Amino acid sequence: MSSTGKKSVLILGGGLAGLTAAKRLIDRGFDVKLIEKRNIFGGKVSSWQDGEGDWIESGTHCFFGAYDVLYDLMREIGTYDAVLWKKHELTYTLAKGENFTFRTWKAPSPFHLTPAIIANNYFSFSEMFTFTKALIPLVLKRDKYPPTQDHLTFAEWAKNFGVKDRFLQKMYRPMALALKFIPPEEITAKIILDVTEVFLRIPHASRMGFLKGAPDQHLIQPLVNYVTDKGAVVQKDIKAKSLMFDGEKITGVELTNGEVLSADYYLSALPIHNLNKVVPENLRQKHSVFETIRSFKGVPVISVQIWYDKQISDIDNVLFSPDGVIPVYADLANTTPEYRTLRGKPYKGKSRFEFCVGPAKELMRLSDEEIVKRVHESICDCYPNESKGAKILKSTVVRIPQSVYAPLPNFDAKRPPQKSPVKNLFLAGGFTQQPYYDSMGGAVFSANLASEGICNAAGVKY
């Protein structure tokens, strides 16, 4: 118990999950301290200004309509209006300037997706019929069906139903890489089927939105301000070295500077690879769940931003591409009004793209210059006419060696709950058990569950 007489909580990690938990717990009367090893908050949702004043993001942050828990949080801190909802359609750009768009109707589910099936003007009726038929078990069994397919990759699942490789690669390769940065041949079928089931069941779930500006300004810093205004202690540049476990409970957290922090309850909101670094051997030996999660591996991610001297795309929405190295991207000059700047000056009538580049593990060894070159080639291939004569005014490359956990077949059952077997230790993050996996929605959902668990343990109403 803290000097204030309140139950105390120490949160490791200042990403979206850690900050959400800080809000939930400070709202319920806990004495909260949060530490973050980097010099910025936000984790996978971090953004920062470079030396020229331009905002750089850790990745392309699309706001799925399904993330209700995220929007509840944003309403609570007064930033929901910063989400700009886009037209409810998904556009794919392909090599040689080809493209197609999946549109929706305002109709009850699953009929809202009818235009995507009958009027996409790219896939044949036979291809769409085969895939639609493959979804019948999903429609009938709904959320009970995806867990039964976790032993398969999505590619294996699709081939079992006769789905042709062309459909798999053109339709689902960019989706798999957008969701978890690994291709259909690696990702578990469960994730793709879970997402598809939600899209089928909830008409607004597949609608996309973008923030009007930087995540730091419209989500992360408002969260930091909220919790600090209510008395939470939030600190950057502080790195945990190890949890201290006495065989029954966590007694403290040793920092790399030798200091020890203690609290009544401990919440790890670290990414899985960093959590594994701070778990001591005696904790692994006592509780097998901490040995199990050592097998979780982070997926490398590369994000590229390019400012061009002309407008290449006029689409104000997320874009997918199965060809080249840009599976998901957006022209931020269209989607994000506050990003229409370059080096502090207005930047209008030109394209400022942000790309998820992948699969990143095949590209991490390349120089920044080579990665930008390949991205530019992909853009020129998708927009052969619009890109003629286009010159790059500026580019940035962000590399994250380990980002989300790799959701391979047979891994879902290994995901731990938020309440650990140690009575005062709780976990939050996309790798823990919740329906939105490693995403902004998953970060908030897991933080809500972890906070509820701490409240229950402390006898506090959640």
Last residue of a domain, one of 201, 221, 248: 201
Residue 1 is predicted with a pLDDT of 61
Residue 304 belongs to a domain: yes
221 lies in some domain: no
Do 348 and 374 reside in the same domain of the chain?
yes
Report whether 158 contacts 184 (CB < 8 A).
Answer: yes
Reported as a pLDDT band with limits 50, 70 and 90, residue 202 is confident
Spatial distance between the Cα atoms of 110 and 138, rounded to a whole number of angstroms? 12
283 with 375, same domain: the answer is: no
Q: Are residues 136 and 86 in the same domain?
A: no
* Structural domain for 56, as ranges: 46-102+206-213+300-401
Q: Are strands 233-235 and 31-35 parallel, antiparallel or unpaired?
A: parallel
Angle, helices 16-27 vs 221-229, to 10°: value is: 30
Residues in the chain, how many? 462
What is the count of structural domains for the chain? 3
Look up the CATH number of the domain holding residue 241: 3.50.50.60
Q: What confidence category does residue 431 fall into, taking pLDDT thresholds of 50, 70 and 90?
A: very high
pTM for this structure? 0.95
- 428 and 292 assigned to the same domain: yes
Angle between helices 16-27 and 68-77 (to 10 degrees): 60
Residues 308 and 361 in one domain: yes
Say yes or no: 322 and 367 in one domain.
yes
In this structure, are 88 and 144 located in the same domain?
no
230 in a domain, yes or no?
Answer: no
Question: What CATH number did the domain enclosing 61 receive?
Answer: 3.90.660.20
> Is 293 in the same domain as 419?
yes
Please check whether residue 24 lies inside any domain of the structure.
Answer: yes
What digits encode the pLDDT tens for the residues 271-316?
Answer: 999 999 999 999 999 999 999 999 998 999 999 999 999 999 999 9
pLDDT at 194: 94
Q: Please say if the pLDDT value at position 373 is more than 90.
A: yes
Task: Tell me which H or E stretch contains 313.
Answer: none
Mean of pLDDT values over 88-102: 91
Domain annotation covers residue 389: yes
**Same domain assignment for residues 290 and 426:** yes
Identify whether residues 123 and 76 lie together within a single domain.
no
- Single-letter code of the amino acid located at 345: K
Q: Residue 229 falls within a domain, yes or no?
A: no
* Domain identity same for 292 and 305: no
Task: Tell me which of 13-22, 46-55, 194-203, 288-297 is least confident.
Answer: 194-203
